[in-house]
Structure 1
Amino acid sequence: MNQGISSSTAQAQMNPAPSHLSHGGPDALGIPPHDFSTNANACGPCPPVLQALQQASVHTYPDPACTAVRQRLGRWHGVDAARIVIGASASELIFRLTAALGMIGQGRQAGAGVPSAHDPLPVRAGLPLAGASPLPPPVVWVPRHAYGDYARAAHAHGLPVRVWDTVRDTPQEAADSSRSGASCPLQLLWATEPSSPLGHTPEGLADAVHTRSSHARQTATVLQGVPGDSPPLWVLDRAYAPLRLSGTDPFTPAALDVVWQLFSPNKALGMTGVRGAWLVAPAACLNDSGSLQAELFGRLQALAPSWPLGAHGEAMLMAWPEPAVQQWLALSLDTLRDWKARLEEGLRRRGWTVLPSVSTFCCARPPRSALEAALSMMRPSDMPTPAADRFTPANQVPDTRGSSTPFGHAMRDAHTPGERTQLALLAMLRQQGIKLRDATSFGLPGWFRLGVRPPESQQALWRALEG
């Protein structure tokens, strides 16, 4: 674990969807002039893509099959275009993928296969036989500190969620159940690389993905009559891969061929107001029509809206592979490295604890003096109302690794001293046009995630902290 971050195991009851959630970017006060809460490329928007958006044809429908987009992205990744699944956004694909997994689980529990629209499959001999023990629902694994939509999507579809700190935390339930003859659940494992909010490669992730690749080359993952081997379906969220400032991609092409990959380029392009994303499906989706991967792929296609992209999202995805766009991105990373070094140095100089990160953001914890100073400047009426998920992090969910203690402290009064000072700092800065990302909803109370911003925004932050 990273220094200063607790690795305690926690458990919580599933809660209804909050009415409003913690996110970076604009809020009820509008667009922050100095917005450290977002991970968007601070050099953006990307001029060539902006020009493509201005030239987008908005007077007609886009191609509902996204044919040209899938072909261009397929060439970009060096894969068959049929493996590209287009979505309205990364969040939409997260929810759609989770829904597809839930539908497969329901079919298995019901004892009958449900053909998909993409690749109609026969009723599988692999589903529970008469008199067999009922199959458990699919399990969704999420990183302890991660984007909350992974867990929220699972909660929305009634799927159990478990937390991992390192990939070694994930149990070998499939192998164990195979030896015991017991039914094992389908499993979906989410990972982000580089991760958010910590901006690093999760421990053991690269080795585990490569091991997964070796296993997949030996054994097809199919729905068996009496379930025996159901290793997790892996999804790598690559949103921050284009914004890597140091190090190299830890995955080989062969390893990536057996996992799902999720891409959403709007952060790298500095235009998060334009939505659009895609999945690269594993090769087994096309090569093995009887595989679980193919079943999931078919469900995803069946659940897609008629037009997953609007004209501007289509224009952004079409522009992404263009040489001029990639050249702009590469040059912007040089600028962002310099700005990030300035940001981290300025925070440390003012007593903040800064965690290492390979991407264009970092997590930092302010000194008590900064929190108390902010609180002394705030009137009670100026204190903000916490977001619905601020003290119930979506990724703090049932964890089967030994603790039965409810995550009750996450539901505590939002006006305990530590929380009050943290909210005061956020509110004080927001009044001055500066917004930070409270990392409590990531499972990191007391920490903030700061995206790299230009020097003028950094100067505004220093003035506010020193005032």
Structure 2
Amino acid sequence: MPVPLHPTLPPAQPGGLDSTAFVRLDFSVTTNPYGPNPLLMRAVQTADQARFPDPQYREARNALARLHGVKPASVVPGLGGPELLHRIVRGYLPQGGRALSAGAASREFTRAVQLAGGTLEPLPPAELAAALRSDVQLVYVGHPHNPTGHTYTDEVLGQLLVACQANDTLLVLDQTYAPFVGLRMPPLHSHLVTVSSPGRAHGLPGLRPAYAVAALETATALWNLAPAWLLPAATAAVLAALPQAQTHLNETLPLVDEDARELARALARVGRVEHHGTPFLTVQLPDAARVAQALLDRGLRVRECSDLGLTDTLRISVRRPEDNATLQNALLSVLGGVRS
């Protein structure tokens, strides 16, 4: 029997909770609870899904290039951020190669490195530049970081990028949650690739719209690894319509921010809350895994973070106020509290 080239890894299952359990309200997935964006839904409904789309996705690439002030050749569409992260690792991490990350990396970047037989070392952001060596091919930075919500100043990112260039290392900037906190995409750089997953901010994560923006040589390498007709017509239509779809974000993301701040204030009654303006927050609780399971038994899923190196920590993504109130009451009940 042929021997596979890559290790067999267990399926990703955040927080160790039963992925088949009945879930009434899901606070583990971050998306815009005031979505989906109606303009993008119209794009989905009018997409010609009976035909193959343009295999070069020129309409989407041209639209995104105008949005970010780059040439279309620098835009690489993907079927979800994880697909692009796997492509980046496949393209730039040799078998047994080494990567660094600012804090815990995303599960899919971690999995991609493991499939490549590589090693991934999470470090405090301030230590990344000094830790660069000739055997480090990739540096991953979540901006904002998941699950902590931390962001980085232009100065810090600029210094890291200079260090990456000096070491001939590719910096992977994951901006999945950037729209929620108003972060802009940084300028093109020979040693930078920026990954965007706008479906979350627009309330359409299931369509998996995503794209990378990179200098021409890197973008060409990532295109080379994509199969033909990677995106369904509906997903391509969403990417093409993004520049005209910003009104929904302007109207709804302030509501998401207000709801998240209110949820952070409420949960501070039961544990130490860390919130940095993202649509998710973390709360530290004794025996967080047991608490997460008790909530799941009530049909409420949250993200337990021990697999990300954060013990006794839950990550909770904001939903609409009535759902957030349901979670608060359930959490107080699980912890034996009484709501006043």
**Shorter-chain TM-score range:** 0.7 to 0.9
Q: CA deviation at 1:462?
A: 2.6
Distance in 1 between residues matched to 2:197 and 2:102, nearest whole Å: 19
Match among 220, 223, 235 for residue 301 of structure 1: 223
Give CA deviations for 1:20-42 in whole Å, capped at 9, x if unaligned: 42179994135x33221111111
Give CA deviations for 1:320-359 in whole Å, capped at 9, x if unaligned: 111xx2111011122112211221121112x221013121
2:16 aligned with 1:97? no
Q: CA deviation at 1:16?
A: 4.6
Which aligned runs of 4 or more in structure 1 are off by greater than 4 angstroms?
23-26, 212-216
Report the secondary structure of 1:268's partner residue: coil
Distance in 2 between residues matched to 1:187 and 1:303, nearest whole Å: 18
Partner of 2:199: 266
Partner of 1:17: 9
User: In structure 1, what residue type is equivalent to 2:317?
Assistant: G
Unaligned 5+ residue runs, structure 1?
Answer: 1-13, 107-136, 175-183, 222-228, 286-293, 369-417
Give CA deviations for 1:259-288 in whole Å, capped at 9, x if unaligned: 211011111011111112111012xx3xxx
Distance in 1 between residues matched to 2:183 and 2:80, nearest whole Å: 23
Q: CA deviation at 1:55?
A: 1.5
Q: Which moved more, 1:443-452 or 1:257-266?
A: 257-266
2:297 aligned with 1:424? no
User: In structure 1, what residue type is equivalent to 2:228?
Assistant: S
Partner of 1:435: 301
Q: CA deviation at 1:249?
A: 3.5
Partner of 1:114: none
* Cα RMSD after superposing both structures: 2.7
Match among 327, 336, 340 for residue 256 of structure 2: 336
Given that 2:73 and 2:219 are in contact with CA atoms closer than 8 Å, whether structure 1 keeps it comes out as no
User: In structure 2, what residue type is equivalent to 1:237?
Assistant: D
Give CA deviations for 1:432-463 in whole Å, capped at 9, x if unaligned: 22111111222212101011111111221133
User: In structure 1, what residue type is equivalent to 2:205?
Assistant: T
User: In structure 2, what residue type is equivalent to 1:364?
Assistant: V
Change (3 A) 1:452 1:26: farther
Partner of 1:141: 100
Unaligned 5+ residue runs, structure 2?
Answer: 1-5, 334-340
2:210 aligned with 1:277? yes
User: In structure 1, what residue type is equivalent to 2:253?
Assistant: L
Report the secondary structure of 1:309's partner residue: coil
1:111-130 counterparts in 2 under 5 A? none
Partner of 1:465: 331
Report the secondary structure of 2:206's partner residue: coil
Distance in 2 between residues matched to 1:268 and 1:148, nearest whole Å: 20
Give CA deviations for 1:300-339 in whole Å, capped at 9, x if unaligned: 22211101200121121112111xx211101112211221
Given that 2:149 and 2:281 are in contact with CA atoms closer than 8 Å, whether structure 1 keeps it comes out as yes
Distance in 1 between residues matched to 2:135 and 2:212, nearest whole Å: 24
Partner of 1:152: 111
Distance in 2 between residues matched to 1:280 and 1:343, nearest whole Å: 34
Partner of 1:34: 25
Given that 2:30 and 2:318 are in contact with CA atoms closer than 8 Å, whether structure 1 keeps it comes out as yes
Report the secondary structure of 1:364's partner residue: strand
Give CA deviations for 1:388-434 in whole Å, capped at 9, x if unaligned: xxxxxxxxxxxxxxxxxxxxxxxxxxxxxx4xxx3432232223221
Give CA deviations for 1:178-215 in whole Å, capped at 9, x if unaligned: xxxxxx3252111011111011115xx63243236668
Given that 2:264 and 2:275 are in contact with CA atoms closer than 8 Å, whether structure 1 keeps it comes out as no
Given that 1:34 and 1:460 are in contact with CA atoms closer than 8 Å, whether structure 2 keeps it comes out as no
Given that 2:305 and 2:311 are in contact with CA atoms closer than 8 Å, whether structure 1 keeps it comes out as yes
Report the secondary structure of 1:449's partner residue: strand
Change (3 A) 1:26 1:358: farther
Change (3 A) 1:258 1:230: closer
Given that 1:142 and 1:150 are in contact with CA atoms closer than 8 Å, whether structure 2 keeps it comes out as no
Change (3 A) 1:342 1:214: closer
Report the secondary structure of 1:189's partner residue: strand
Distance in 1 between residues matched to 2:17 and 2:53, nearest whole Å: 28
1:356-375 counterparts in 2 under 5 A? 356-366=275-285, 368=286
